[in-house]
């Protein structure tokens, strides 16, 4: 019986770390087997700034997910975000020596490797190389070049770049927490997988993921990723403003924002007041909900205006680049009252709140369908696409524990030669197995490129971590 593919996504956020275990059910939907959540300590604006605290938070989330699901986690797909992320558009081409031969994987790999040689700023590394459209001998708008003839193969790429040190710090935390890294994905791309439909990606849509430390943007048009950006402001700055503006502690400010906060000040009457207990026997504080909304409104407007500037930079005002499906809001910040109306007011674009429930099995917990889990759900989906076996049932682990037999030393020495022969036979069988042809599975060019590149990239990170020890 074939082992089921169990996938694990790890969302290392600024306010929370979420470990999610899932698998595909018989209807092709995502069945969540367990979720672990811990307060994120040691991460600021999507970047690790305290290795020890981050490792502890990851271990806590992993332990909770294992207890919730009954599975032992081996490896994880991790989301990358942070203010160091930027994206560039780049075009490149290769001239093929024999135009009479059909274009194959080797030609695509050659073109991709050429893009990887792009000169980056000091300390930067390429995270994603996402092909958009191919051109063969001047004929444009080709989405699948494999199998076609041509001498000059050209492509436009969306290249995502990040700080090498930040990425390696994440890799170090994963390894120190006792896990393997099976994949890296840009967080807005993971969120997009979870909450956007293919129709929206075709029509043109901007996904805004408002997290604790950063606000991520991903723009799609004609089913292709066109623009990504990370803005270094999120829900935490709103909490910080409330804390300063109302002279209260952070815990109270966060509770006020979640329970009574609104992005639209006109909603609250002047006489609506909430009372907060004073510290250490001091008098309770009375805070006007109208003033609270004004503080939130000012900061949310600033965040949305920065995102809208990025949407304009993509060229949204050009009729050919128009985003017909408008904006989709997700992430914890999307739960703020009246934020949808404010985004529509500022941008003039249709807006909806994105829930990751479209891809989830019908009996999923209501909490998992919340926008704050969109990235984690997207990471699990990403892991499933890679056919990973990221977790093992605890029952299986107990069954497979080897029995230790103690034999006299002399017998072991006599049998060494006998034992060597079966070992050699096994090695020969394994070699033959590798040489034997496996059934071919057809994959799209984009999938092959992503898988091939990620394998190389994760190997490089693992090599770096091993050498660092």
Question: How much is the pLDDT for 347?
Answer: 95
Q: Is the pLDDT of residue 258 over 80?
A: yes
Per residue in 39-80, pLDDT tens?
998 998 888 999 999 999 999 999 999 999 999 999 999 998
Position 367 pLDDT exceeds 90: no
pLDDT band at 461 (very low <50, low <70, confident <90, very high): confident
Question: What's the confidence (pLDDT) of residue 83?
Answer: 83
- Tell me the sheet residues that pair with 154: 93, 135
- The reported pLDDT for the residue numbered 5 is 81
Strands of the sheet with 124-136, listed across from one edge: 86-95, 152-163, 124-136, 139-142
Over range 73-88, report the average pLDDT.
90
| Residue scoring higher pLDDT (415 or 198) | 198
Identify the band that residue 220 occupies on the pLDDT scale cut at 50, 70 and 90: very high
Q: What pLDDT, on the 0 to 100 scale, is given for residue 141?
A: 85
Residue 448, pLDDT > 90, answer no
- Are 214 and 81 spatial neighbours (Cβ–Cβ below 8 Å)? yes
pLDDT at residue 432 tops 60: no
**Mean pLDDT computed over every residue of the chain:** 85
Q: Cβ(220)–Cβ(226) under 8 Å?
A: yes
Query: End-to-end distance of the chain based on CA atoms, in angstroms?
Result: 39
| C-alpha dist (Å) from residue 110 to 92, 100, 148, 247, 301 | 11, 18, 16, 59, 45
Query: For residue 9, is pLDDT > 60?
Result: yes
Q: What is the pLDDT of residues 281-305, one digit of tens each?
A: 888 889 999 999 999 999 999 999 9
Q: Residue 439 above 50 pLDDT?
A: no
Residue 418 has pLDDT above 80, yes or no: no
* pLDDT score recorded for residue 416: 41
The predicted model gives 425-430 an average pLDDT of 48
């Amino acid at each position: 019986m074939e082992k089921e593919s169990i996938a694990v996504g790890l969302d290392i956020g600024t306010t929370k770390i979420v470990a999610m275990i899932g698998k595909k059910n018989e209807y092709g939907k995502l069945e969540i087997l367990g979720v672990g959540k811990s307060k994120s300590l040691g991460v600021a604006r999507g970047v690790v700034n305290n290795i020890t605290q981050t490792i502890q938070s990851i271990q806590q989330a992993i332990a909770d997910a294992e207890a919730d699901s009954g599975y032992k986690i081996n490896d994880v797909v991790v989301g990358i975000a942070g203010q160091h992320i930027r994206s560039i558009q780049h075009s490149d081409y290769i001239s093929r020596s024999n135009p009479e031969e059909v274009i194959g994987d080797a030609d695509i790999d050659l073109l991709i490797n050429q893009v990887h040689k792009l000169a980056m700023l000091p300390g930067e590394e390429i995270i994603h190389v996402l092909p958009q459209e191919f051109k063969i001998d001047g004929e444009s708008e080709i989405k699948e070049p494999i199998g076609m003839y041509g001498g000059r193969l050209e492509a436009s790429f969306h290249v995502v770049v990040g700080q090498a040190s930040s990425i390696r710090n994440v890799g170090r935390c994963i390894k120190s927490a006792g896990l393997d890294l099976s994949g890296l994905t840009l967080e807005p791309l993971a969120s997009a997988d979870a909450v956007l439909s293919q129709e929206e990606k075709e029509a043109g849509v901007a996904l805004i993921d408002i997290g604790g430390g950063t606000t991520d943007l991903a723009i799609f048009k004609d089913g292709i990723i066109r623009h990504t950006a990370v803005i270094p402001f999120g829900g935490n700055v709103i909490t910080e403003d409330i804390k300063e503006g109302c002279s209260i502690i952070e815990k109270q400010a966060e509770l006020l924002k979640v329970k009574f906060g609104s992005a639209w000040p006109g909603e609250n009457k002047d006489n609506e007041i909430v009372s907060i207990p004073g510290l250490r026997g001091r008098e309770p504080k009375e805070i006007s909900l109208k003033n609270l909304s004004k503080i939130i409104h000012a900061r949310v407007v600033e965040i949305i205006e920065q995102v809208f500037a990025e949407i304009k930079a993509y060229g949204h005002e050009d009729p050919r680049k128009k985003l017909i499906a408008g904006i989709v809001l997700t992430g914890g910040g999307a739960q703020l009252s009246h934020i949808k109306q404010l985004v529509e007011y500022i941008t003039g674009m249709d807006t909806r709140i994105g829930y990751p429930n479209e891809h989830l099995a019908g009996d999923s917990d209501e909490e998992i369908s919340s926008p704050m889990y969109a990235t984690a759900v997207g990471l699990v989906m990403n892991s499933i696409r890679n056919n990973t076996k990221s977790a093992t049932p605890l029952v299986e682990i107990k069954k497979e524990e080897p029995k230790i037999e103690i034999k006299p030393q002399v017998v072991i020495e006599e049998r060494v030669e006998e034992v060597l022969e079966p070992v050699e036979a096994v090695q020969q069988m394994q070699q033959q197995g590798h040489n034997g042809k496996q059934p071919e599975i057809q994959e799209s060019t984009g999938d092959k490129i992503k898988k091939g590149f990620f394998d190389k990239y994760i190997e490089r990170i693992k090599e770096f971590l091993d050498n660092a020890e």
